[in-house]
Amino acid sequence: MTKGVPRADHFRARRVMQRPAVLFSKLFIGNEFVESRAGKTFPVIDPSTEAVICQVQEANAEDVDTAVQSARKAFALNSPWRTMDASQRGRLLYQLSDEIEKNIDYLTVGSLKIKGIFCSYH
């Protein structure tokens, strides 16, 4: 076991690695999860077993254009984000970091799994 890492963290990471949960499979555009305009999906495959983990939405050029327009709108001069008080933006970013920390096993171990990178937990 890695020095300084609680034993429970190793067991949790091992469970995630063996059975990765699929929390999201849609495109994230305009601050919401949506299906692709074409309705197409593609498989995410575990390279170590060649098993299909899940199907995710396949974006096309129209989806990309919509996402770019949405991002530009979100950062436009008079957008809520740009006009928001810096301390409020800081609180939102802090909340985001909390969510990342709460889901770190899913984000890292799941990502390693779909890339075929193996982890060992003693």
Identify the sign of the CA torsion 79, 80, 83, 87: negative
Q: What pLDDT was estimated at residue 20?
A: 61
Contacts of 17 (CB under 8 A, 6+ apart): 109, 112, 113, 119, 121
Tens digit of pLDDT for each residue in 104-114? 877 777 667 66
3-state secondary structure of 51: strand
Tens digit of pLDDT for each residue in 62-110? 999 999 999 999 999 999 999 999 999 999 999 999 999 988 877 777 6
Tens digit of pLDDT for each residue in 4-63? 555 666 566 566 556 666 778 899 999 999 999 999 999 988 887 888 888 999 999 999
What is the 3 state secondary structure string of 67-89? HHHHHHHHCCCCCHHHHCCHHHH
